[in-house]
Chain A
């Protein structure tokens, strides 16, 4: 039990630190694409500390306070249910007890908590953002479910551990090469999950100030930032496990998550934002159709 608690604590803190560092790198990369110098690598840590120590006098109801905790719980839940390193027996967390469906549930749990908190804040822009976000979430959920169907039908399992183990016979056994269309579909759904352009209709500063966290400040906002960083890393680890052969060691995990993290950054830097209905239409048809191609290949 002590070992499990220690493992969970270490994993969560390390993932948070890595998530914030990745956020810092992404800000630097985006700045370089713009031709700017950009912020320091440690800027996200500084921002987080400042927010954590800032005073807060705003109260909008119980759910308003609970939402950031839901966000952190959702991120930590996904992270702890996913195996980090293939065959590692030291840091196992709870990777044996949850299958892919439970992980997907946890992924939406954080977002739903966030939606309730933002709704409780009573700010009109937060409510608009929540309605946009839930509409978009239900559309990429459809595409992501189609991708999960491909994996379940092809590998005859929903256990993430078994999915990772099935990819250990060389690079060509990765699901990236077995199910290339489903992988592309999953990568497309990864963009709205990371709130990247062109699917950034939830946090759209030029339209609806900043969306759900409009009323959040100080410590609550710092929790929300932490939750986002944690969630980001959890999703990266999940995607590495599902399509890129899992990670054979810590270095491999860091490299793979780093490269995968760069994908939404580069896409974000060159695309403008969709309108809500464009985003939903795109997510319903394009990634779902791509996943359907692989599903048909498996069935035939």
Chain B
């Protein structure tokens, strides 16, 4: 059973509530537990007493339905992109993407690989990039702080960008995924 309706940007938001909402969103970031590449190993220490990401209100959620953030943790293979699209579109708005590592920016050490995407921003909207190969947990926390700052300022609007430019993203996604069998939008 699929919903054929495409997503819309809600226009009934009042500015005063938007500020309060953004404060709450920034201080309660729930992350989808989905590791796409080798960077996922750097996310584990964030749970531990050494880095403790829960003190910033960041928590892992085992289902995309309840998450706000999707972390593309390192290189993204074409095969994984399909899953990433499904997961990202199942997350309810507003949603954010943090991309870890050089691979998500320019392909990194896999720049000439036949099955690794080089510039992630062409396929899904990235709000924050964290560079490094791999970025250490401190760098990831720094990335989260940057995302929090952007959300508080109302500038983390990658999800709106995705809705507005869905055709552009779909075109790019379909270029690399040869066996495209996804619905119009993965609700």
Which of A's residues lie within 8 Å of B, judged by CB? Answer: 27, 31, 34-40, 43, 46-47, 49-50, 53-59, 205, 209-210, 213-218, 221
Contact = CB atoms under 8 A, between A and B. Distances in A.
Given A43-B57, A58-B65, A218-B92, A35 B49 contact: yes
Query: Looking at chain B, what size class is its interface with the partner chain?
Result: 20 to 34
B76 to A, nearest CB: 23
A68 B92 CA distance: 18
Contact of A57 (B28, B57, B187): B187
Interface string B1-36: 001000100100000010011001101100000000
A220 to B, nearest CB: 10
A53 B63 contact: no
Nearest to B62: A209
B66 A38 contact: no
B121 interface: no
B10 A216 contact: no
B68 to A, nearest CB: 8
Contacts of B49: 34-36
Interface in B58-73: 61-63, 65-66, 68
A49 B24 contact: yes
B52 interface: yes
Contact of A50 (B17, B24, B54, B187): B24
A210 B30 CA distance: 14
A236 B83 CA distance: 43
Interface of B: 3, 7, 10, 17, 20-21, 24-25, 27-28, 48-49, 52, 54-55, 57, 61-63, 65-66, 68, 92-94, 187
B28 A217 contact: no
Given A53-B24, A210-B66, A36 B54 contact: yes
B63 A209 contact: yes
Nearest to A211: B62
Contact of B57 (A40, A53, A55, A217): A40
A54 B52 contact: no
B93 A54 contact: yes
Q: Give the one of B7, B17, B28 with max A CB within 10 A.
A: B28
A160 B81 CA distance: 58
Contacts of B21: 49-50, 53
Given A50-B25, A55-B10, A27 B65 contact: no
B55 A221 contact: no
18 contacts: A27-B54, A31-B52, A31-B55, A34-B49, A38-B55, A40-B57, A46-B28, A49-B21, A49-B24, A50-B68, A55-B92, A57-B7, A57-B187, A58-B65, A58-B187, A59-B3, A215-B65, A216-B66
